Structure 1
């Protein structure tokens, strides 16, 4: 495992930082750039599983999460089930889940189905709230997670965009892990929040979010997934250089909280 990270929170390279790579390549880049953990986004989980498993066996990083189950009003799809089964097979700590269904009871039922699928596996369902999805707020995600037996994934960008205070202490019993990212201009709200989240993030500590206060409000030692989806960085830096730069930026934030 990497020995660079300041004590307290293991760092993971999120898939979104290097979407120009195949999932198995992401594992190697995470190891080469000094992360403790890695996340992968699987478009075809059954076809990609073996390559990711080989990469994990070859490199000293653990698998934090598999992305992403997008829930709706309909029952779980074969793709949803394949993602859950593959996450369990690979030993992922979490299955990253979002819901596009605004009916909280329906979302709770769907999350509970995923939880049942993963019963006995090392993988837990992590529900991420975002303003542009059906589960918009931290409070809504916590209600669903509490009822369904899941966990919550917190991202300071999404908390800020819902008007929540990222520094507000997280629920220790429900928060499985968190993401570390930043916004260039938190005071300005763009017309398309989904586009901002998927294309315009900046490295931790390079924007205006108070990430030190966010980290201080998290449960001790929860993993932190560095999540910086940035068209600019993708166009100007190679994946290894990008991953290393983002790790160093995250570590600078964490040292400031020590």
Structure 2
């Protein structure tokens, strides 16, 4: 199986508090975890304690949403806390369609994190201001950031999942699936936030996607699914998703 350490994304277990995500990631066999912080400063200490108590690294902190103006207090707090917690990445999206403006905003985040272990990871999504891998890579290259690749978003933007990722720019990737990639959803954002399925349970060519990733790049398992959240407890859900991810990756060996 290719050497991609797996992380439990916050989106898989949104019914948990951030510190609980770390504990569940450890209990279900992940090497890493990601947390989504609604109140970064208030939640920082709980996450720090959980990281000290469990043998799990912190892959990412979510989520900075950039606009036309400079990062505000909440975005700056997310950056500060991500660095203090030792997260590898600060997950960032942009709602600003002007590429030059987004580049400047990403560069400001990069500057805020200078000297910390945390890098900015810009995620392209069809329903945001940065829609494609090419655009995200241009911005990241100029701003000194990295790119986060999600096969769902790449597919919906018309990108080829088999296209090799740029090792110099790819910070990490996500592993997810959708039931019917051939149909066009009426609301791509709703699909991404509510209707994902476990890796290998849908129709995305995840084997081709994983084969094109640089060796050692972490893979965050991200399955935001209303159905799974309603029918499985968080620990059971996290374990099932890890096993699905590992089965998928074994098929690429």
**TM-score in terms of structure 2 length:** 0.99
Gaps of 5+ in 2: none
Q: CA deviation at 1:75?
A: 1.2
Corresponding position of 2:228: 233
**Partner Cα separation in structure 1 for residue 198 and residue 2 of structure 2:** 20
Question: Corresponding residue for 2:100?
Answer: 105
Which residue among 23, 28, 39 is the counterpart of 1:33?
A: 28
Q: Is the partner of 2:126 in helix, strand or coil?
A: coil
Q: Distance in 2 between matches of 1:89 and 1:238?
A: 30
Q: Which aligned runs of 4 or more in structure 1 are off by greater than 4 angstroms?
A: none
Query: 1:156 aligned to 2:156?
Result: no
Structure 2 equivalent of residue 19 of structure 1: 14
Give the CA deviation at 1:7. 4.8
Give SS of 1:66's match. strand
Q: 2: CA distance between counterparts of 1:219 and 1:185?
A: 27
Aligned pair 1:44/2:44, yes or no? no
> CA–CA distance in 2 between the matches of 1:131 and 1:7?
29
Distance 1:44 1:92 in 2: 16
Match of 1:54 in 2: 49
Aligned residues: 253
For 1:77, the equivalent position in structure 2 comes to 72
- Please list every run of 5 or more consecutive structure 1 residues that lacks an aligned counterpart in the other structure: 1-5
Asked if the contact 2:21–2:35 (Cα under 8 Å) also holds between the matched residues in 1, the reply is yes
Distance 1:191 1:7 in 2: 35
1:220 is matched with 215
Match among 88, 92, 114 for residue 119 of structure 1: 114
Q: 1:194 aligns with which of 189, 193, 196?
A: 189
Q: What is the CA deviation profile of residues 3-37 of structure 1, one whole-angstrom value per residue up to 9, with x for unaligned ones? A: xxx45100000000000000000000000000000
Mapped to 2, the partners of 1:243 and 1:98 lie a distance apart of 25
In 2: Cα distance, 1:196 partner to 1:244 partner: 23
Aligned residue number for residue 10 of structure 1:
5
Match of 2:178 in 1: 183
Residue 132 (structure 1) aligned with residue 127 (structure 2): yes
Number of the residue aligned with 2:243: 248
TM-score by length of 1: 0.97
Q: Distance in 2 between matches of 1:7 and 1:30?
A: 20
- Any idea what the Cα deviations from partners look like across 1:80-123, whole Å, max 9, x if unmatched? 00000000000000000000000000000000000000001000
Counterparts of 1:186 and 1:76, CA distance in 2 = 35
Q: Distance between the aligned counterparts of 2:140 and 2:106, measured in 1? A: 8
Q: Distance in 1 between matches of 2:173 and 2:69?
A: 28
Match of 2:167 among 172, 177, 195: 172
Q: How far apart are the structure 2 equivalents of 1:236 and 1:121? A: 40
